[in-house]
Chain A
Amino acid sequence: MPENQQKLIHTFGALAELGHEVSQKNDFQELIRTSLHLLLGALGIMRGGVARYSRFGHELNMLAVRGLGDEFPLSLTICSEDERQFLTNGTVPIEIAQAKVLPFFQIYDRSFAAKKLELLVPLVIRDEIVGVVLLGEKANGEPYSSYDRDIICAMTRHIGVGIAQRNLMAELERRADENRRLYDDLRMTYKDTVKAFATAIDCKDKYTEGHSVRVGKYSEIIAAELGWDDEQVEGAAVAGYLHDVGKLTVESSIINSPHRINAKETAALNKHPVIGYEILLPIHHPYADVPLAAKYHHERLDGRGYPDELCDRDIPYIAKIVCLADSFDAMTTDRPYKRRRPAHEVIEDLQYNAGRQFAPELVTAFCRAMLKEITQETKEKKFRRLLGREYLEAEGIVSLLKNALNVMNGTSSLTLVNLD
């Protein structure tokens, strides 16, 4: 085979392989090492290295080296003058011996001479330096020909593209991380705001201090027990925290009345779901249905709730969750006119009202979560913190919960309503 033809086949084989590597390789370090092998092997170059440029540190950091030894600097500093010259030069190889006027070559002259480095190729992609390739002498001892330089130009452009792609990916990852952090910050801010709101709502009612926060937590427990994902569980908690926001507009004398309120006062109080809805509707919540939970948390499956006397399937699911959480908290906390009810009574009430006031599958989920905690099937102590240890350890509660679960097992609210 004529020498020229063999040379062409060998170098173009290397060029093709390099193009394939740049487009296929996921491991950046492997890509650079392979690229350097291909370049050196294509032209029989004894030694060389590939460095990536860091704009911030004005440094060239060696990514791969061949035959440069341990003493060769792994990081080379360049100044603005060098940078300008490299940019002007583009990807054309620079003869190191003839570029000593530049500060960069003066500083590293010894290192370059010791390793017989002959060419420096700036890797310029879209008018930006992304790195350089350093090349030593050829194994045949001949100077670099114009053919060699053309091949070097083509191959180093591929390496430059590989580095630029990596830089772009790193930048995208950095921005994605930054966005994720900003999003997390926003979520935290939102959660804190919601909790502050819940506290403000609860401050208005001295007898039910902490009610909104507890309803938020019970709603969270139910959603988690239903197997909802983290975001949905958080949404359920928020709906619980804000369900009574409409009470902010109800007169304190009504809310804080130490005795049962009259019909007129009840009518005023019963407006709070709609007012709450109107307050929450214009706010852009990260979770759907928060305003609907406020509006419909006093609806009942049997249609005897308010404000719209909706029946089961017309009540938003989130409102059913908050309704159960709200009622449970009302039964298990002291009110001005009523002491809290014992645990067995509350469980019997939940069971009795499953399908009437509450969605049965939600009562099931709630009782199951409570049973898991009492029997220590889970390490969670949410109910214990909300209700107190003694309340949960009331005699017979485990069998009561198990019985309730057996009775309600597999019943959905829709089934019950259809049967009615």
Chain B
Amino acid sequence: MDTEYKIPVQTSGETATVYASDYLNKLSGEKIERECRRQIDAGYKTIVVNFGETEIVNSIGVSILLGVIDAASGAGAKVVFSDVNEDTIELFEMLGLTNHVRVN
């Protein structure tokens, strides 16, 4: 169930990796943004959003990622997108998300 779903996170040094999954594309994806904010508040300087399990990113997903970018830039943290497929990279470039994040 959405309310019980725990966002997978791995931490190492100053980096926290948050796994986006398909949750990103629904309102419940706000949990991912909250998790990223929590890691930023906890002092992690780099937030890696992993798209390994994310096939597509829709408008809700983009909005949530913009929220992550905004939170990180306000706290002086960096955002990295990893395991992003080609179509999604194109989308992020077209919408300007890649101006604010590094894509691995």
Contacts and interface: CB of A to CB of B under 8 A. Distances in A.
B70 interface: yes
B66 A41 contact: yes
A44 B96 contact: yes
A140 interface: yes
A271 interface: no
B36 interface: no
B94 A37 contact: no
Given A1-B87, A1-B90, A44-B66, A139 B58 contact: no
Interface string B71-96: 00000000000000001001100111
Contacts of B67: 66-67
Interface string B22-64: 0000010000000000000000000000000000001111111
Interface string A132-148: 00000011111000000
A66 to B, nearest CB: 6
A50 interface: no
Given A13-B59, A44-B66, A142 B96 contact: yes
Of A13, A33, A37, A141, the most chain B CB neighbours within 10 A belong to A37
A173 interface: no
Interface residues of A, number: 31
B58 A17 contact: yes
Of A10, A14, A43, A66, the most chain B CB neighbours within 10 A belong to A10
Contacts of B69: 46, 139
B70 A41 contact: no
**B-side binding surface: helix, strand, loop or mixed?**
helix
A41 B63 contact: yes
A17 B97 contact: no
B99 interface: yes
Interface string A379-402: 000000000000000000000000
A66 B63 contact: yes
Given A30-B27, A139-B96, A3 B90 contact: yes
Interface of B: 27, 58-64, 66-67, 69-70, 87, 90-91, 94-97, 99-100
Interface of A: 1, 3, 6-7, 10-11, 13-14, 17, 30, 33-34, 36-47, 66-67, 138-142
Given A40-B66, A41-B66, A44-B66, 8 more contacts: A10-B58, A41-B58, A41-B62, A44-B94, A67-B70, A139-B69, A140-B94, A141-B96
